[in-house]
Structure formats: structure tokens, C-alpha cells
Chains A and B, each alone.
Chain A
Amino acid sequence: MISINYYIILSAILFTIGAMGVLIRRNPLIIFMSIELMLNAANLAFVAFGRSWEITSGKPFYTGQIFVFFVIAVAAAEVAVGLALIVEIFKTKKNINIDEMNSLKG
């Protein structure tokens, strides 16, 4: 018997691992990947709650899944622009250490 608590706790654990990855890594690509992990954890919570509502109301319920659809599209757009930015920064600074990206100039 899988209660919805288990899915939400799994989502919370994945989100926390993503947040920890953002804080402790120096490579901006891995920071970006941890942000994607956080978005993924939130998507899991969306689908779990959508399924929970579908079970309690008895009728099919698609809003949770549609929300996840939009989150995936927004994440794809954000990854495209963010990676273009990182490549652009690499062209001028020749390395991508996050501690050296501390000015808005260039």
C-alpha cells in the first residue's frame, strides 16, 4: 500500500539533493543540472497530487499532468538560453569557475 506520503517525501528528498548540489559545486554546468533535478522533483509532486485527486474524486483528472507538460517546456527553454550564456562566458574568460563570475560586465 503506497500512500501519497511516500511520493511527496521522495520529491522532498530529491529537491533537497538538488539544492545541496547547487550550493556545494563549483562547476556551473553541474549547478545547472542540480536546478533541473529540483524542477524534476517538483514535477513528481505535481503528478502525485494529481493522481491523489483523481483517486478521491473518482473522475479522471489531467490538470497535474498538463502542468508538468508546461514545466518541462519551460525547463527546455531555460536550458537552451542558460547553456548559450555559459558558452558565451567561456569564450571570454576561457574557464568556467563559478567563483570568478562575480561581475556583470563582460
Chain B
Amino acid sequence: MTSELIVFLVLSLVAISSALGMAFSRNAIYSALFLVLNFVTVAVFYLMLGAPFIAMSQITVYAGAIMVLFLFVIMLLGAESMIPLPSAMPWQRPLAFILAVTLVVESVYLIFARAKLDTVITAPGVAANSMDSLRDMAMTLFNKFLLPFEITSILLLVAMVGAIVLAKKEKGGKA
């Protein structure tokens, strides 16, 4: 039991329990905060995998911007005090549990029996957290992946315009 394995097990326990807390919490704000904890834990996993830029952008964009947006909308709509009505299909919940357990068991079996992955993930060296690796990643991003980068910027512009158009008041004074 090396220290790496212990750190990995503790962090994965935190990640899984915060994901379960998000899925089962009755209060929507608690769900959002559980999800923030899950994102920060996954960002620490990215650091263990030698991806510091992705870890920081996960914390900044995912946990810092997207979840704040969620919290704004939850508080705007008053969703934290919504009492869930009884579901129209009462057999859906047990069936969802059974299918989820089946999926997890099946994927674990397939990973160990068929995929035969045997690479041991070692800790990243000192070079992974330096500016050299960041510069190399930026060179790859802007040389090899220039077209997806530009398309993503157009996508963000389209999403921004769409969100503004959807939230605009209609002409004619209707609320």
C-alpha cells in the first residue's frame, strides 16, 4: 500500500460520495455544492495525471463559472424549496437502480477481462508542471488543433447570442 494508492483511494471515495450526494440530495443547492466538491476532487486527479492546465481550467471554468451559473438559476427559480411530486412512473426508480448496478458490474468486468489495460500510471515528473510543458501544449493546441479551436470560439459566440435572445423580454410589453 504505497502512499499514492492511499491518496487515490481517499480521493476516489470523496468523488464517489459527493456524486451520490449530488444525485440523491433533496435540496438543489446542496446538490450543486456536492457537485462543486466533485469537480475539485477530479481536478486533483488531473494533477495526479500530469495535466496541471486542465486541472486549473476545470476549477476556474467548471467549478467557478458553470456551477455559479447553476446556483444563480437555482436561487432565481426558488428550486431549493421545491417539494418533488410523486413520479408518474413509480417503477422508474427501482429499474434505474438495477440498470445502474448492472452497468457498473458489466463495465468493471469488461475492463478487467477484455480490455487488458496494464499501464501503471506513475506520478508525473517535475517537467509536467513547468512552463515548458505548458508552452508545448499551447504549440500543439494552436498548430495541430487550430481548426477546432476556432470552431469552439464560434460555438461560444453562438451560445452567448442564443442565451441573450432567449432571456430577452418580448416586444409588446409581455412581462
List A residues at the B interface (Cβ < 8 Å). Answer: 1-10, 12-14, 16-21, 23-27, 29-30, 32-34, 36-37, 40, 43-44, 47-48, 50-52, 54-56, 60, 62-66, 68-70, 72-81, 83-88, 90-91, 95-97, 99
Contacts and interface: CB of A to CB of B under 8 A. Distances in A.
A84 B70 CA distance: 11
A3 B15 contact: no
A97 B19 contact: no
Contact of A1 (B49, B111, B120, B124): B120
Given A12-B108, A75-B66, A81-B166, A24 B92 contact: yes
A55 B121 contact: yes
Nearest to B25: A30
Contact of A29 (B28, B39, B46, B58): B28
Contacts of A79: 66, 69-70
Residue of B19, B35, B39 ringed by the most chain A CB atoms within 10 A? B19
Interface of B: 2, 4-5, 8, 12, 15-16, 19-20, 22-23, 28, 31-32, 35, 38-39, 42, 45-46, 49-51, 53-54, 57-58, 61-62, 65-66, 69-70, 73-74, 76-77, 79, 82, 84-85, 87-88, 92-93, 96-97, 100, 103-104, 107-108, 111-112, 115, 117-122, 124, 133, 136-137, 140-141, 145, 148-149, 152, 155-156, 158-160, 162-163, 166-167, 175
Contacts of A69: 53-54, 57, 141
Contacts of A8: 111, 115, 117
B118 A33 contact: no
Contact of B166 (A23, A44, A51, A88): A88
